[in-house]
């Protein structure tokens, strides 16, 4: 009988800790709904103690999700644990995930705690959590750099205190596949009671080895992998969900394992996460990159035409990749739009549908052909702007050879009041951003500006992604789409500023 590897998705917690990847409440709910559709076993919805917004988002996800387990992260502190429990309490299946560092480096310099004190804390806090709910996961932070004998002690105490899952993190991405595989093997060999719990792994990608380390752990008895969509996360990121899942599926002959993930939902989930976080997937990214199933070499093309398996070990269709399909036009009605949105995986409220239809009609007047990517960009714009403090009312620019670029911007605030400003700049986008700054009043430094076509054709929408840095050093991303590249640029910039205004200040924790 083929054994199942549990997929623990932490896109909404660890993934969101990636600088600039902050998501608002509605965006988190959309991603959580898609993760459940994807078939992940556990959704780590957030870190409830971090902020009221985090608590609310986790709590709403707990009410929304029915099939996946909803998990809240907590430090080994009573208040954290209690708050995490209250947040996930409405969930049909709920889990508390608490952690405490076990490496001497973390104990000495971060926690100012002795080994003996750490063991007492683990016993007390796992027991406290167990009294609140049955499903408890414990993580010894920085496990891969911990003294093995002390780590075994800590894990045994966690088991005796009620933990059902032991998660072994390679917190700083320090380990290597052979080393980490043996590390898991030795835990299974030396920790009393380990046969009665699930061994999980949480690997970071600082050396580009997160997926390899996770799969090495699976080979050596780990039965849960913690990962994120597109591998986003702190620093270099986390284990990539799509790579682990498709490695296990494609090489089932080797692993003799399976997951509950529905591969055909992978590409759609990847696109949604990329769109809402503003983090573009690199073209050469395995599984979900735009070049993952592209062949330019004549030799490769000949082989593919003769027999696909000569150069492809997976079908694009296996992960939900479809060719751009012309689906709607200016004469299409509301029913057709709703049907296609449902096919694309968007579950929209009536208000979101109404506004999306209005935008669709406007777009259809400008574009002769409407592609799925256009619809996705349209919906993402609506989700991002739904609770925004500032929205674009109008954008006018003048620029050209021999002319000084100028912009006239009008923004509408959440109270419905319109503010107007004019400004000059080195180019039309610079002038527009300068006018926006005068209205909004946020002082930021533009770190990145990137523009891509949403779909094909000379009339394609442009998607602009930006990263900005506040005076306090915090990084926020923004994304916006429009057939006019200057308007798209303003939308993306305003999207980033709206995230700053939302006050999403979170306590950053590395697991």
- Distance (Å, whole) CA 318 – CA 320: 6
| pLDDT in the model for residue 327 | 58
**Which of 194, 180, 189 minimizes the C-alpha distance to 225?**
180
Q: Where are the beta strands (DSSP E) in 262-389?
A: 326-328, 370-371
Three-class SS state of 24: coil
- Distance (Å, whole) CA 71 – CA 226: 12
Kindly list the strands in the beta sheet with 444-453, ordered across the sheet, starting from the edge strand earlier in the chain. 444-453, 462-470, 475-482
**Dihedral of the alpha carbons of 238, 510, 72, 190, in degrees to the nearest 10:** 80
- Distance (Å, whole) CA 508 – CA 511: 10
Tell me the two tokens of residue 433. 């951003």
- Phi (first) and psi of residue 215, to 5 degrees: -70, -35
Number of helices (H), then strands (E), belonging to the chain: the values are 17, 18
| pLDDT in the model for residue 163 | 98
Longest CA–CA separation in the chain, Å: 78
- Distance (Å, whole) CA 470 – CA 444: 5
| pLDDT in the model for residue 104 | 96
Pick the CATH number of 390-501 from 3.30.160.270, 3.30.499.10, 3.30.70.2740, 3.40.50.300: 3.30.160.270
- Phi (first) and psi of residue 224, to 5 degrees: -145, 135
Hunting for tokens 């063991």 — which residue is that?
A: 119
Q: What letter would DSSP give residue 277?
A: H
| pLDDT in the model for residue 307 | 59
Hunting for tokens 């199933």 — which residue is that?
A: 293
Which parts of the chain register pLDDT below 50? 295-302, 304-305, 324, 326, 504-511
- Distance (Å, whole) CA 423 – CA 407: 5
- Distance (Å, whole) CA 126 – CA 162: 6
Tell me the two tokens of residue 483. 């057939």
- Phi (first) and psi of residue 404, to 5 degrees: -80, 125
Hunting for tokens 């109270």 — which residue is that?
A: 415
Considering the segment(s) 3-277 as one domain, its CATH architecture is: Alpha-Beta Barrel (3.20)
Query: Which residues make Cβ contacts (< 8 Å) with residue 476, sequence separation at least 6?
Result: 20, 22, 444, 467, 468, 469, 470, 496, 497, 499, 500
Contact in structure between 129 and 164 (CB atoms under 8 Å): no
| pLDDT in the model for residue 323 | 53
Three-class SS state of 493: helix
């Amino acid at each position: 009988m083929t054994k199942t590897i549990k997929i623990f998705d932490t896109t909404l917690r660890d993934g969101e800790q990636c600088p600039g990847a902050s998501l608002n409440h509605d965006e988190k709910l959309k991603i959580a709904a898609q993760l459940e559709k994807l078939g992940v076993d556990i959704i780590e919805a957030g870190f409830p103690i971090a902020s009221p917004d985090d608590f609310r988002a986790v709590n709403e996800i707990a009410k929304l999700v029915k099939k996946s387990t909803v998990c809240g992260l907590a430090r080994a502190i009573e208040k954290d644990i209690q708050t995490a429990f209250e947040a996930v309490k409405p969930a049909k299946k709920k889990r508390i995930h608490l952690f405490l560092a076990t490496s001497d480096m973390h104990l000495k310099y971060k926690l100012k705690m002795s080994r003996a004190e750490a063991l007492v804390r683990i016993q007390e806090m796992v027991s406290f959590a167990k009294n609140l709910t049955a499903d408890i996961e414990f993580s010894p932070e920085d496990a891969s750099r911990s003294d093995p004998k002390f780590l075994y002690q800590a894990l045994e105490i966690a088991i005796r205190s009620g933990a059902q899952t032991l998660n072994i993190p390679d917190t700083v991405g320090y380990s290597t596949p052979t080393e980490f595989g043996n590390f898991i093997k030795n835990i299974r060999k030396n920790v009393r009671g380990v046969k009665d719990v699930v061994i999980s792994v949480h690997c970071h990608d600082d050396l580009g080895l997160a997926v390899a380390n996770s799969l090495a752990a699976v080979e050596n008895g780990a039965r849960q992998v913690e990962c994120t969509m597109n591998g986003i996360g702190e620093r270099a990121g986390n284990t990539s969900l799509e790579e682990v899942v498709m490695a296990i599926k494609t090489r089932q002959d080797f692993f003799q394992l399976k997951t509950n993930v529905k591969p055909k939902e992978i590409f759609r989930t990847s696109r949604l996460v990329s769109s809402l976080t503003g983090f573009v997937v690199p073209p050469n990214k395995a599984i979900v990159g735009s070049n993952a199933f592209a062949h330019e070499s004549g030799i490769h093309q000949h082989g593919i035409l003769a027999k696909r398996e000569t150069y492809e070990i997976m079908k694009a269709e296996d992960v939900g990749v479809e060719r751009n399909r012309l689906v709607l036009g200016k004469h299409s009605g509301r029913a057709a739009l709703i049907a296609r949105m449902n096919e694309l995986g968007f579950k929209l409220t009536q208000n979101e549908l109404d506004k999306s239809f209005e935008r669709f009609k406007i777009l259809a007047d400008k574009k002769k052909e409407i592609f799925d990517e256009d619809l996705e960009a349209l919906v993402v714009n609506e989700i991002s702007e739904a609770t925004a403090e500032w929205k674009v009312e109008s954008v006018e620019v003048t620029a050209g050879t021999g002319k000084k670029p100028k912009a006239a911007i009008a923004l509408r605030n959440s109270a419905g009041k319109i503010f107007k400003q004019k400004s000059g700049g080195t180019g039309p986008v610079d002038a527009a951003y300068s006018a926006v700054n005068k209205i909004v009043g946020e002082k930021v430094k533009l770190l990145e500006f990137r523009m891509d076509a949403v779909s094909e054709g000379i009339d394609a929408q442009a998607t602009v992604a930006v990263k900005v840095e506040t005076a306090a050093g915090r990084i926020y991303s923004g994304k916006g789409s429009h057939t006019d590249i200057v308007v798209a640029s303003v939308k993306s910039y305003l999207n980033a500023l709206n995230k700053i205004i939302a006050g999403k200040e979170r306590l950053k924790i590395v697991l």
